[in-house]
Amino acid sequence: MGRNMRKRSKTTGGKVIAAAAALTLGAGGLVVVNVYASAHETSGGNTAKRSSQGVTGQAAASEASTIDCPDVGSQLQQVPDQARAEVDKQLALLDSQISEAYQRLQSSAQAIQQDSNFANNAIVRPLKDKRVATIDRIAIAIGRVGDRPQGLESLAACTLRASGNQGDTGGDQNDGQENDQGEDQGEDQGDGQGQPAGGGQAGNGPVAADFVDITTVQPNVTAPRVSQEASRGTFATQCGVNENKLYNSANVIVAPGVDNGAHHTHDYVGNQANDAFADNDDFANGETTCQNQSDKSSYYWPVLRLQDGTEEFDAGQLGGGAEGNAGKILTASEVTLEYVGNVSGKVVAMPKFLRIITGDAKAFTNGTANANAAWSCTGFEDRQLTDKYPVCPQGSSLVRTSKFQSCWDGQNIDSANHRAHVAFADSNTGACPSGFKAIPQLVQRLVYDVDPPSLNDNGQSSPFYAVDGFPEQMHKPITDHGDFVNVFDEQLMNEMVQCINTGRQCQ
């Protein structure tokens, strides 16, 4: 279907209402369902799963409640091609339902405090009803062209539980006498002078405990063993830093054809045709910011924001300020895109239009199974952080590094959960899983010149920075992730493979 024939939906959204800081529900409330990664029994390893009864009333308000929803997408191991568009649409709808419930939870702190059953009756149970209908449509779509999946209905119910982040307002900001001031800060999201109890310009994180001084971290990077048969070469492609300011909150891999499928804003370099409606023909015919015009690949990642009170173009939009992604968008001072080989053997060419997601945008609630965040500072890159943002010393810049999966199943350019068709090589031996082939590994490195935040006053004198994300993820550093669609010309891809396999450094 041509681009001019596609119907595009228009979305509008008001700003998320912050609950009073003294209650902390809106600040720390989470509403969660995962679309494309494995469900997990813990909240990033930090919070034990509550009983099916969850938490209610005063406990819900004081403990910064989470709505915990079982994952649906990871249970769909096989989705027929004829059903994939409808299934992707319904999986994206689950996210929209969760986002709406999250906003309701944020704005209902007083009602929850007054009525112990309000959260379950007015938020959790209606959410289940919506999920029942949506999950049924997924099963029907698959059943029309294949075997209908069984047991999906058991994934509809969600529960309230504590987020594990209550009480962290940074430094001495939670000492009792600040409560009145805290309430004022929670209501005033736009001035950048002080943060609500849950941290962050929009009241949903980060908090001071999400940061650590990089100089206090011990080196933790070890070099793998490299065999004589290793493919030691490198291939660099230069595609800029998003000087064109191409932004949107779509995710064409996870939610093709759905506006605001990511619920957060991405930076894009390389292919300029990437939006929710782009197909392979659009990518093939798109313009590219890469110096080598034979690389039309799409490289994208969630934007980094400085929570300084700036109202960006998306301040009132879904995916932006209306879903808790607030503050000044920071453009990387440097973007390095390099492909490297395999420490145990040769690599083969990637198939054109191969899609890869690295990391997990919902790792704070899903757990760490698919997390792949790596934060550091220039001069300290032998120290990589996954669940903390680094505070860099004077003269050092912030670094985000994403290493993509480097094993391919030899058949598919995508999979039902957008992960099963690729895998990581063994970190010690470089071996790929049985049946997989080694491909060039994309290593993406982003550098930002940003002042270190002030932790002792909760980011008031020097504001926090944070990665964009689903609102329920509270802008945790572990949720950092990257996306890639391979649109290399086949000849250039073959040259890359030859370069890497013969141990040369090319670009």
Percentage of the residues of the chain whose pLDDT score is greater than 70: 79
Q: What pLDDT shows up at residue 18?
A: 29
- In this structure, what token pair is assigned to residue 169? 């307002």
Using alpha carbons, list the distances in angstroms from residue 439 to 301, 354, 453, 490, 493.
21, 11, 39, 14, 11
Tell me which of 230 and 172 has the higher pLDDT: 230
Taking the CA atoms of 132, 137, 143 and 146 in sequence, report the sign of the dihedral they define: negative
How far is CA 436 from each of CA 424, 487, 494, rounded to the nearest angstrom? 10, 21, 19
> pTM of this prediction?
0.81
Q: How would DSSP label each residue in 8-35?
A: ------PPPPPPPTTT-HHHH-EEE--S
Amino acid (1-letter code) at residue 428: N
Q: Report whether pLDDT(184) > 60.
A: no
> Measured between alpha carbons, how far is residue 420 from residues 75, 232, 252, 416 in Å?
12, 26, 17, 8
State the number of CA atoms in the 13 A half-sphere of 464 facing the CB: 36
- Regarding predicted confidence, which is higher, 453 or 172? 453
Asked if 473 and 30 count as a contact pair (C-beta separation under 8 A), the reply is yes
Average pLDDT of every residue of the chain: 82
Number of H helices, E strands in the chain: 10, 22
How far apart CA 134 and CA 137 sit, in angstroms, is: 5
From the number of C-beta atoms within 10 Å of its C-beta (0-12, 13-18, 19+), residue 127 rates as buried
* Cα angle: 33, vertex 37, 38; to 5 degrees: 90
Identify any residues that bridge with 401 across adjacent strands, giving them in sequence order.
445
Q: Tell me the C-alpha to C-alpha distance, in Å, between residue 120 and each of 108, 126, 128, 297.
A: 12, 9, 10, 45
| Mean pLDDT of the region 471-486 | 93
- pLDDT, average across residues 209-231: 95
| pLDDT given for residue 473 in this prediction | 83
Q: How far apart are the C-alpha atoms of 45 and 226, rounded to whole Å?
A: 33
The mean per-residue pLDDT over the stretch 459-486 comes to 93
The pLDDT, as a whole number, for residue 341 is 98
Cα separations (Å) of 493 from 81, 412, 421?
Answer: 27, 17, 19
257 vs 196: which has the higher pLDDT: 257
Q: Residue 284 to residues 73, 272, 281, 440: CA-CA distances in angstroms?
A: 28, 11, 5, 21
Question: Residue 493 contacts by C-beta under 8 Å, 6 or more apart in sequence?
Answer: 349, 350, 352, 486
Place 163 in a pLDDT band, splitting at 50, 70 and 90.
low
167-181, 228-242, 423-437: range with lowest mean pLDDT: 167-181
Q: Render pLDDT for 106-150 as a digit per residue (tens, 0 to 9).
A: 778 889 888 988 988 998 899 999 999 999 999 999 999 989 988
Residue type, 92: A
CA distance 377 to 53: 43
Q: How confident is the model at residue 224 (pLDDT cuts 50, 70, 90)?
A: confident
| 47 pLDDT tier (thresholds 50, 70, 90) | very low
What dihedral angle (degrees, nearest 10) is formed by the CA atoms of 422, 423, 429, 434? -70
Please state which of the ranges 33-47, 257-271, 315-329, 420-434 shows the lowest mean pLDDT.
Answer: 33-47
Does residue 215 surpass a pLDDT of 80?
A: yes
Both tokens assigned to 268: 């894009």
